[in-house]
Amino acid sequence: MEELLIGHERDIRILFHTPKLNADGWVENYLITIKGCGLEATLPVENPPYGLPPSVFFEKLSNSWQHWNAVDDWGAIEGEYDLSVKADKLGHIFITACLYSPGLESEWKAEVTVIVEAGQLNTLASKAKQFFG
């Protein structure tokens, strides 16, 4: 799978794309882009074989969204971005991606929140598994 889109193509969205695979088929790195309301930010992300990839996070969400206390989150090992998720009692899932500046020369962060329905989480988890392996 070449990309994983969360949200809508013409709306606020989180896009994982341009995966680079090693000889074993592991996604060594990829790009994350967030877009919406005049904002666009893209960062390269390292995906080391240790730790939990985002696919595990999305699978956990699809299996247990009804039991969250408040917020669940995940962060890239190298600190490029993090994801946080919260749900309301009506089954709306708020997925926030926050990207951070990659260098020490200057600091910035960019953030978007995408709303999906709880019924979409199984499909999202499946697509994440296809993208991240």
Mean pLDDT per segment of 10 residues, for the chain of length 133 residues? 88 95 91 94 91 89 71 87 90 93 80 93 95 88
Find the helix or strand (DSSP H, E) in which 116 lies.
strand 109-117
CATH number at residue 98: 2.30.31
pLDDT at 6: 96
Residue 1, classed as helix, strand or coil, is coil
- Residue 54's SS3 state is helix
- Give me the domain span that covers residue 38: 3-132
Overall number of domains in the chain: 1
The set of residues, in sequence order, having a beta carbon less than 8 Å from that of 78 and lying 6+ positions away, is: 45, 46, 48
For residue 68, the model assigns a pLDDT of: 61
Residues in the chain: 133
